[in-house]
Amino acid sequence: MKKLLSINITLTFLLILWGGLVRSSGAGLACPDWPTCNGYWIPPMDPMVLLEWGHRLIASVTGFCTLGVVGAVFLKKKYRSRLGGPAFLCLSLLVVQILLGALTVKGMLSAHLVTTHLAVALVFLATLLWMRERISPEVDPNPPLKGRGLLPFVTLLVYLQILWGGWVASSHAGLACPDFPTCFGAWVPPLSGLVAYQFFHRVGAVVVTAAVILLFRKMRATKLKGLMIGNLMTVLIQFSLGIANVVWELPIAVRIAHLAMATSLFAMMFIATHRVHHARVS
pLDDT of residue 223: 80
Residue 200 pLDDT greater than 70, yes or no: yes
Give me the DSSP letters along 184-222: TTBSS----HHHHHHHHHHHHHHHHHHHHHHHHHHHTTS
Higher pLDDT, 2 or 14: 14
Q: What is the mean pLDDT of residues 173-191?
A: 94
Q: What is the pLDDT of residue 79?
A: 85
pLDDT above 80: residue 156: yes
pLDDT of 281 > 70? The answer is no
**Number of residues assigned to the chain:** 282
Indicate whether 2 pLDDT > 90.
Answer: no
Cα–Cα dist 83/99, whole Å? 24
Burial class (CB in 10 A: 0-12, 13-18, 19+), 41: exposed
| One-letter amino acid for residue 120 of the chain | V
Mean pLDDT value across residues 40-52 = 90
The pTM of the whole model exceeds 0.85: yes
Judged against a pLDDT cut of 70, whether residue 279 lies above it is answered with: no
Long-range interactions of 139-142: CB distance < 8 A, separation 24+:
139/281, 139/282, 140/223, 140/279, 141/279, 141/280, 141/281, 142/279
pLDDT at position 139 is 46
Pick 103 or 159 by higher pLDDT.
159
At 119-147, the pLDDT tens digits run 999 999 999 999 998 887 554 556 666 66
Q: What is the mean pLDDT of the chain?
A: 90
The residues pairing with 183 across neighbouring beta strands, listed in sequence order, are 186
Average of per-residue pLDDT across 94-110: 86
Higher pLDDT, 15 or 149: 15
pLDDT digits (tens, 9 = 90+) for 216-270: 998 888 788 889 999 999 999 999 999 999 999 999 999 999 999 999 999 999 9
Q: Is the pLDDT higher at 49 or at 106?
A: 49
Q: Is the pLDDT of residue 51 over 50?
A: yes
The residue extents of the domains of the chain are: 1-136, 140-282
Residue 115 above 80 pLDDT? yes
pLDDT digits (tens, 9 = 90+) for 60-98: 999 999 999 999 998 888 888 889 899 999 999 999 999
In this prediction, residue 282 carries a pLDDT of 39
Check whether 187 has a pLDDT greater than 60. Answer: yes
pLDDT of 265: 97
Angstrom distance (rounded) from CA 126 to CA 135: 15
**AA identity, residue 44:** P
pLDDT at 38: 87
Instruction: Give the separation between CA 113 and CA 119, rounded to whole angstroms.
Output: 10
